[in-house]
Each structure stands twice: as C-alpha cells, then as structure tokens.
Amino acid sequence: MQMKYLKPILVTSALIGLSHWSGLSFAQTADQLYKRGLAATCANCHGTDGKGVVDGGMPLINNLTSEQMLAKLKAYKSGALEGTIMPQLAKGYSDEQLTTIANQLGKKQ
Amino acid sequence: MDRRHFIGQSAAAVGLLAGLSSQTKAANLQKAEILVIGGGYGGATAAKYLRLFSNNTARVTLIEPNTSFISCPMSNLVIGGSRTIAEITSPYDTLSKRHGIKIIQDSVSSMDPDKKTVTLASGKTLRYDKAIVSPGISMNFKSVEGLAQANKDGVTLQAWKAGPETVALHKQLAAMREGGTFAISIPEAPYRCPPGPYERACQVANYLQQNNPKGKVLILDANQDVVSKGALFKKVWAEQYAGMIEYRPKSNVIGVDAKTKTLKLEVEDDVKADVLNILPQMAAGEIAIKTGLANSNGRWANVNFLNFESTARKDIHVLGDAIQVAPLMPKSGHMANQHAKVAAAAIVAELNGWEINPAPVLTNTCYSFVNNREVVHVASVHQYNAAEKTFKTVPGSGGLSPAPSILEGIYAWGWAHNIWADSLG
Ligand SMILES: Cc1cc2nc3c(=O)[nH]c(=O)nc-3n(C[C@H](O)[C@H](O)[C@H](O)COP(=O)(O)OP(=O)(O)OC[C@H]3O[C@@H](n4cnc5c(N)ncnc54)[C@H](O)[C@@H]3O)c2cc1C
C-alpha cells in the first residue's frame, strides 16, 4: 500500500536530483515505526541505531547478535549480570520490549 | 524559484500523473512543512529523527541562532578547568549535510498559531504545518533584585546556558583572591538540571583544591535539601572537600548588590562572596511564553505526553526543559532527546494517517562529575500510563550509583560523545 504512494516521490527526487529533501524512501508500517521509536530510547548512550561512537568510552553494542543482546538485557534485568546503569534501566522495560529492542539493534547477519 | 516550492509542485504533479489524489495521507508527510525552533538537545534530535523516522521524506527546517551547539552537560568541567569549551562544542552542519535538514541561522521573534506562521528576527515569515518548539529555558532575572543589571555588567554570571558565560565564570574562579569564596545560589525547583548546581560546586572545589587551597565554596539553596543525589553529594563534600564546601539549605537569594558583592537572603543575614554565580528562577524559553504555550502557571508548557503537542495550541509540539514535566521527570538533556523521539515518531505517524504509538517509553540517565575523574549517576525509565495520561517511572527500575567511580567517569564521557552524535551527528 505505502509503496504505491511513496514511489512517485522517490522518482521525483531522483529526477530533480540533489533536492534538500530527497533521499531514500521505502515503505514502513506503523508497527515498524513504533519499534524504531522504542529502540531509539537506547541511542543516547549507545548511538543512533546502536552504532556508538568508536573509542568514545561507552561500551559498544553493535557487535552483538539479537540473541546475544536479549540474553544480556535479560541478565541485567534479573540481576544475574552486574553493571553500573544497565541493571537499573533494564528493569524498566517489559520482556517484550527488551525482545523488540534486541531484534531492532542486534547485528544483522 | 524557491527549491522547496519546486519540489512540492513536482511531487504533486507526478502524483497527479500517477493518478493519485493529493489528499492521500502518505503524501501529507512529504508535503507538510515542519519547522523546528531551537537546535538544543530537544530540537536538534527532533529534526534528525523526523528525517530518520520518515525515511528521509519529511521536510524539516531547523531555526537556531547559534552557529554551533555548546553542550550544557559537561560544561561544569569547563568551569572547573579540566575540559575546554572546544571539547563540548559540536557543529550544526552535519544535520544538513548528512540528513538533509534545512538550517536557518536566525531566531524566531514571534509565532502566529492561528495563521501557522513564524516570524524571524531578520523579518522573514515562514509558514508551517507542524512546529516543534524546544527553546530551553528563560532566566527570570527579576526574581532577584539587582540581578538583571549585575548580569548585564558581567559582575554576576549564571552560565546556565553554556557559552561565553561558561568561559567567563572559569576566568572569575581562576582570578579569585587567595582564600576567597565562590558562592552559588540555587532557585526553588523546578529548574534546569536538578543535580547541576551540586556538580558545579564539586568542580569549583576541585579547581580550588589544586589552585587556591584556602578558597571556599558556599552553596545557597532555596530548596529544603539537596534536590538530586543528595546522600552521594553530601558524602563527597564531607570526604573529598572537607572544610571547603559549605551547604546551606532553605537559603533563598532575593537580592544582589553588585558593588559590594553582597547577597540578600529572604530570611538569613546578608552574605558576601568574591565570585557570585546566581541562578535565578527559570521558566520556559521566551518564545514559548510569548506564544501562549506556557499554560502551567505561565511558566511551563503543558503537553499531551503521547505526542508532546501543546495543550494550548494545535500543531505546536513542545519539548525539553520548556514543558511542565510528568512526575519524577527531570529537566535534562537526555530527557529532551527522548521527548524529541516520541514527538518525531508521533508526527510521522500522524502525517501518515496512522494511530500514534499508544505506549511510548522514555529513559533518563544523568551523570555528575564529583571531581575531574569520578562520577555518580541517577537513572530512570518512564512508561506511558494511558489511564492517567502521563509518564510514570517503573517501580524497581532506575536508581543511583552506590558511590563515585572512575569507570562511571569513562561512561559519562562516553554518554556525552554518543548523545552529541545521536542529536547532531
Ligand atoms: C551546568 C549544566 C549541566 C548539565 N548537565 C546535564 C547532564 O549531565 N545530563 C543531562 O541530561 N542534562 C544536563 N543538563 C541539562 C540540559 O542542558 C538541558 O536539560 C537541555 O539542554 C534541554 O534541552 P532543550 O532542547 O530543552 O534546551 P537547549 O538545549 O537549551 O536548547 C534550546 C535551543 O533553542 C534555541 N532558541 C531559544 N529560543 C529560540 C528562538 N526564539 N528561536 C530559535 N531558537 C531559539 C537556543 O539558542 C538553544 O540552542 C545540564 C545543564 C546545565 C546548565
């Protein structure tokens, strides 16, 4: 559905070349948007889309697969894994939310 | 011809050619003019995420008078001398170069929410379909008698908007006579950055320890007690800065005599000091007040927490320090960045004709340097509560550091690098 509407804009952008607002455009559903929004709560500390500043000082998370990330988040939440801030933050999310975050930010094979 | 119009007309033309109605919701997202007022933690993040969440299709214009972004977080370290202003300054042009955001270097002098226009200081008028207002705070200099003039003359500084005053306050500290007193006054909460003044006291004391060991720091706090991380700060003051930091709660500064460097207090006797860092009462940034958005006691803007739309005016979304917060929600840069993402996603959803996410989440983390290496934090997670239409912290989540640590000092700088990149990069 969305693609049908967005395509002409993509074509237009390609036609007029370097417009200010041109760029990649592809279909997205509301659910995907909500998931991106949830994962973005992590970005302040771990970087936009989980790509943190290299050598910035904060542990990088973009080397983890979704499974590894979820296991870590759950271990922080249960207290099995110690840490400074993460055990406190992980307890604020439901298991379902942690799964969404891990799926969004985990390394794509 | 204005490029923006050209694109708009072309897009419409192609749309018509393709047999599409110009009324389609998806097309609304590409057509809407979205103006973001203020390029701080809230505004810059909103501008960037409007682009990201719309897969680069939304038209976003950011209006900000400053040529570069100077971070308030970490600015206390500049006052304490362990970091430079250059280290906390980031350029704005990445937002245009990488994300296609149009940046106008100007300030908004007025908004007309009926006509949906804003007028810039340069005189130009722009139209909007959606406006995001993230102007930070304004200082109510009138809350302290004599302060407006004393600040204008550079005798007393606030340095609560990072920039030239930050550097000037460090210079005043460095020039303070041997054994002199640096006084910092704190207004009644709510104000920008609850732990900020106490962190500043630590940074000043840390500088004095190394450069002026007989110097003193006097904290005059209008509040009943330390507003944030109280036990942690008090322990540090007693252990790391014994005899150097004096903390006086319930001490409301109501006047200043710039000539004699004397502070008048509401109840107690006058106080003299060598450097006066007076923080007056704060309110939403001027443009929010002027536009009639500050509908909570004329000071802060009430918003619908699902999309951060003003409850006073439709299609104006207010972010960051300017809003009337939900319970236990601090006025922090981290929080402003999180507001921005909820607002950006909601605007993209709305312009697509979708329901707004009914369950947004916000987090907060706030690091304070107690010396030039060790840090303590406070953290919280805020889930939207539909029944009460507000954000609520999750019981059992969040909390404080057990004690200052160097590891958290490394994370604090890591946080700064990442949030700067997330908001502006
Ligand atoms: C000393 C200190 C330490 C702090 N430490 C931390 C910390 O460690 N962690 C943390 O999370 N937060 C911290 N904060 C708080 C943080 O700085 C604020 O909460 C944050 O900046 C709020 O973001 P904002 O977008 O609301 O406002 P700002 O970041 O202040 O941005 C407002 C922007 O709007 C622009 N503007 C204003 N009016 C107009 C207009 N009319 N037209 C166009 N542009 C306009 C301004 O130029 C400014 O760039 C600290 C603050 C201070 C003072």
What is the structure's pLDDT at A26? 54
Residue type, B423: S
- 3-class secondary-structure state, position A107: strand
Mean pLDDT to the nearest integer, A58-82: 97
- Residue B153 to chain A, least CA–CA distance (Å): 38
Q: List chain A residues with CB under 8 Å of B360.
A: 37
For chain A, give percent helix, strand, coil, nearest 5: 60, 0, 40
B39 lines ligand 1 (CB under 6 A): yes
Q: Compare CB distances from B397 to A23, A47, A89 and report the shortest one's residue.
A: A89
Digit-by-digit pLDDT tens for chain B (425 residues) are: 344 444 444 444 444 444 344 345 556 999 999 999 999 999 999 999 999 999 999 999 999 999 999 999 999 999 999 999 999 999 999 999 999 999 999 999 999 999 999 999 999 999 999 999 999 999 999 999 999 999 999 999 999 999 999 999 999 999 999 999 999 999 999 999 999 999 999 999 999 999 999 999 999 999 999 999 999 999 999 999 999 999 999 999 999 999 999 999 999 999 999 999 999 999 999 999 999 999 999 999 999 999 999 999 999 999 999 999 999 999 999 999 999 999 999 999 999 999 999 999 999 999 999 999 999 999 999 999 999 999 999 999 999 999 999 999 999 999 999 999 999 99
What is the structure's pLDDT at A108? 78
Q: CA A44, CA B420: separation in Å to the nearest integer? A: 8
Atom of ligand 1 nearest to the CA of B331: 19
ipTM: 0.91
Using 50, 70 and 90 to split pLDDT, how confident is the model at A109? low
Q: Phi first, then psi: give them for residue B161, nearest 5 degrees.
A: -120, 115
- The chain-wide mean pLDDT, for chain B, equals 94
Residue type, B49: Y
For chain A, say whether B34 makes contact (Cβ under 8 Å): no
Across the strands, what pairs with B5?
Answer: none
B76 lines ligand 1 (CB under 6 A): yes
Cross-chain residue pair A5–B399, CB shorter than 8 Å: no
A87 near A96, Cβ under 8 Å? no
What is the structure's pLDDT at B256? 98
Q: Compare CB distances from A44 to B102, B412, B422 and report the shortest one's residue.
A: B422
Q: CA B391, CA B325: separation in Å to the nearest integer? A: 9
B201 lines ligand 1 (CB under 6 A): no
| Residue of B222, B227, B237, B207 whose CA lies nearest to B372 | B207
Compare all CA atoms of chain A with the CA of B95 and give the residue at the minimum distance. Answer: A20
Q: CA B124, CA B103: separation in Å to the nearest integer? A: 14
Three-state DSSP string of chain B: CCHHHHHHHHHHHHHHHCCCCCCCHHHHHHHCEEEEECCCHHHHHHHHHHHHHCCCCCEEEEECCCCEEECCCCHHHHHHCCCCHHHHEEECHHHHHCCCCEEECCCEEEEECCCCEEEECCCCEEECCEEEECCCEEEEHHHCECHHHHHHCCCCECCCCCCHHHHHHHHHHHHCCCCCEEEEEECCCCCCCCCHHHHHHHHHHHHHHHHCCCCEEEEEECCCCCCCCHHHHHHHHHHCCCCCEEEECCCCEEEEECCCCEEEECCCCCEECCEEEECCEEEECHHHHHCCCCCECCCEECEECCCCEECCCCCEEECHHHECCCCCCCCCHHHHHHHHHHHHHHHHHHHHCCCCCCCCEEEEEEEEECCCCCEEEEEEEEEEECCCCEEEECCCCCEECCCCEHHHHHHHHHHHHHHHHHHHC
Size of interface A-B (CB pairs under 8 A): 188
Q: CA B162, CA B184: separation in Å to the nearest integer? A: 16
B135 CA → ligand 1 middle, Å:
8
How would you list the strands of the sheet with B271-272, edge to edge? B253-257, B262-265, B271-272
Residue at token pair 């200082």: B139
Closest C-alpha residue for ligand 1 atom 19: B332
Pairing of strands B303-304, B309-310: antiparallel
- 3-class secondary-structure state, position A65: strand
What is the structure's pLDDT at A20? 47
Q: CA A4, CA B18: separation in Å to the nearest integer? A: 10
Cross-chain residue pair B381–A52, CB shorter than 8 Å: no
DSSP symbol at A55: T
Q: CA B21, CA B85: separation in Å to the nearest integer? A: 52
Q: CA B34, CA B130: separation in Å to the nearest integer? A: 5
DSSP symbol at A21: T
Q: CA B143, CA B193: separation in Å to the nearest integer? A: 19
Compare all CA atoms of chain B with the CA of A84 and give the residue at the minimum distance. Answer: B401
Angle between helices B41-53 and B406-424 (to 10 degrees): 60
Q: Compare CB distances from A57 to B49, B352, B413 and report the shortest one's residue.
A: B413
Tokens at residue A76, please?
């922080």
| Residue of B397, B409, B423 whose CA lies nearest to B333 | B423
| Residue of B362, B382, B386, B377 whose CA lies nearest to B410 | B377
B65 lines ligand 1 (CB under 6 A): yes
- 3-class secondary-structure state, position A90: helix
B136 CA → ligand 1 middle, Å:
5
Q: CA B335, CA A48: separation in Å to the nearest integer? A: 16
Q: How many CA atoms lie within 13 A of A69 on its CB side?
A: 24
Q: List chain A residues with CB under 8 Å of B19.
A: none
